[in-house]
Amino acid sequence: MSRRHPLHLAIALVLASCASAGFARDAAPPMPGPSPVDLDTMVVRAQYESQLRAVDAKRSSDAIQDGVSADSMGQYPDQNVGESLSRLPGVSVTRDQGEGRYVVIRGLDAALNSVTVDGIGMGTPEDGSRAAPLDVIPSESTERLTVVKAATPDMPGDSLGGTIMVESASAFDRDGRSMRLKAEASHQNLSGETSPKAAFNFSDVYGGTVGVVFGISWQDRDYESDNVEIEYDDQFADVAGGRWSCSSASTPSTASAPG
């Protein structure tokens, strides 16, 4: 008469359970997976190409300068070049009718700055100041803005505050064809009017030697402003001298600015 040891019986039970589990795993049908989907080819191009060029220009320049590129300007609702420049360190703007008009560099008056557009000095329509208004240049028509805060000997010495260099768009600044479309609208609570604005830019290079750039900017702005003006009037001066007058007015205005 033979007797089995309890240890042998436990080992046999463990082996039997492992064999049955492995057989069940092999016999189970495969789970259905997602069917493959063919995707179209996607081409990703850098959107910060001009911004990288502005950073490289600042790094390699001998002067103390800052710049803003067209890609950066397109990310903000800037109405003109002056408002785009106000995002640079040490630069601010004085506003007129709600828009940035004159640029102030390091706290100095705007009349102490010089402005060039593609290397040509920009004049001013004001008869009492040499400060150049920058609200007449739309930010969509420029490729790069540079502010030189400390001029070098090779630059004209006609500014104490700084030099603002505006560079218009060029077809050779980008590889191949480029198209940009921008549409926006602004609402003024004082007048209750909504003003639309749209801009379109196209550039292409043909044969590597001929470049074409086309751009259009349109804006129809309705605004209203409250003004308080204090002036000295000596037209009717008598023995006692002139007189001071104070006037307050609310002036509705409409401006249409195609360009």
The domain limits of the chain are 45-168, 171-259
Residues 76-96 pLDDT 10s: 777 788 888 888 888 988 888
For residue 145, pLDDT beyond 70: yes
Residue 89 neighbours by CB under 8 Å, 6+ apart: 66
What percentage of the chain carries pLDDT values higher than 90?
A: 2
| 59 or 166: which leads in pLDDT | 166
pLDDT for 136 equals 84
For residue 245, pLDDT beyond 60: no
Residues 224-253 have a mean pLDDT of 61
Residues 114-125 have a mean pLDDT of 86
For residue 9, pLDDT beyond 50: yes
- The 8-class DSSP code of residue 20 comes to H
Q: Got the DSSP string for 85-98? A: HTTSTTEEEEEETT
Residues 133-161 have a mean pLDDT of 83
Residues 126-140 have a mean pLDDT of 83
For residue 114, pLDDT beyond 70: yes
CATH superfamily of 45-168: TonB-dependent receptor, plug domain (2.170.130.10)
Q: What is the mean pLDDT of the chain?
A: 75
Band (118; pLDDT cuts 50, 70, 90):
confident
pTM to 2 decimal places: 0.61
pLDDT for 65 equals 83
Residues 137-157 have a mean pLDDT of 83
Coil, strand or helix at 257: coil
Residues 151-187 pLDDT 10s: 788 787 788 888 999 988 888 877 788 888 888 888 8
Residues 20-25 have a mean pLDDT of 47
pLDDT for 248 equals 53
The answer to which of 113-127, 145-159, 187-201, 238-252 has the lowest mean pLDDT is 238-252
Coil, strand or helix at 15: helix
Matching residue, tokens 């240890």: 7
Residues paired with residue 228 on neighbouring β-strands, in sequence order: 248
pLDDT for 252 equals 54
What percentage of the chain carries pLDDT values higher than 70?
A: 69
The answer to which of 31-45, 66-80, 108-122, 133-147 has the lowest mean pLDDT is 31-45
User: What is the Cα gyration radius of the chain?
Assistant: 34
CA-to-CA dists, residue 41 to 36, 38, 44, 177, angstroms: 15, 9, 10, 19
